[in-house]
């Protein structure tokens, strides 16, 4: 699965049909990818991003300016704060790719993106486990090792993409119902993974008597 924000999947391409190089530059650094993902979810300032991501404000501000220069984000508001001005941004590019576009990204870039997502996933899962987030009987946790050929691997990838599409559609339908009729909103999280397992370690040889 390709990392996505909380919206429908859309490949980001140039008019020539190839991946938009602005997006590649925007997400080439793991922190920039985290910033872009956060700004796809809501309008935030560098100070708010710094607190959310646990990064130094100066470092966040540098990458925010980088993203703004690429026109991957845009300034939408300013507010006075203790003698200074706080700037608020939103994303204009999505950190989400069609399969063909994702395949064009360098492996090092993909690893950096996944690393950032895994860090957030572990933090969210740990926090949920500590606060009863898995107590509901309808909560789901599963672990399914499988053996696949190349065709099977591709088929599972396609299935998971369609599953995420359906989850996002349900998200939109739920938001519409809450807006129309009110009701309680539950902040939940769906994590889907599919990957090559690490090779099994060879068993240690037992020392026999000579």
What's the confidence (pLDDT) of residue 96?
A: 66
The C-alpha angle 176, 3, 145, rounded to 5 degrees, equals 105
Per-residue model confidence (pLDDT) at position 6: 37
Indicate the CATH number for domain 1-124. 1.10.10.10
For the segment 183-190, the average pLDDT, to the nearest whole number, is 87
Distance of CA 119 to the CA centre of its chain: 10
pLDDT given at position 114: 84
Name, in order, each residue with C-beta under 8 angstroms of 132's C-beta and a sequence gap of 6 or more: none
Residue 7, pLDDT > 60, answer: no
């Amino acid at each position: 699965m390709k990392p996505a924000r909380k919206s429908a999947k859309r490949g980001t391409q140039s008019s020539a049909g190839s991946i938009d190089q602005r997006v590649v530059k925007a997400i080439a650094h793991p922190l920039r990818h985290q910033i872009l993902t956060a700004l796809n979810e809501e309008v935030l300032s560098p100070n708010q991003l710094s607190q959310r991501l646990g990064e130094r404000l100066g470092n966040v501000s540098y990458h925010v300016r980088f993203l703004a220069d690429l026109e991957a984000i845009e300034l939408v508001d300013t507010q006075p704060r203790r003698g200074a001005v706080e700037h608020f941004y939103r994303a204009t590019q999505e950190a989400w790719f069609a399969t063909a576009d994702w395949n064009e990204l360098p492996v090092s870039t993909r690893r950096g993106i996944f690393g950032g997502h895994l860090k957030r996933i572990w933090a969210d899962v740990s926090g949920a486990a500590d606060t009863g987030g898995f107590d509901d009987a309808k909560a789901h946790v599963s672990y399914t090792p499988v053996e696949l050929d190349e065709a099977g691997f591709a088929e599972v990838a396609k299935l998971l993409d369609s599953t995420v599409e359906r989850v996002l559609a349900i998200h939109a339908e739920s938001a519409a119902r809450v807006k129309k009729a009110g009701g309680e909103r539950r902040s939940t999280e769906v994590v889907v993974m599919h990957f090559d397992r690490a090779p099994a370690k060879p068993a240690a040889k037992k020392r026999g008597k000579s």
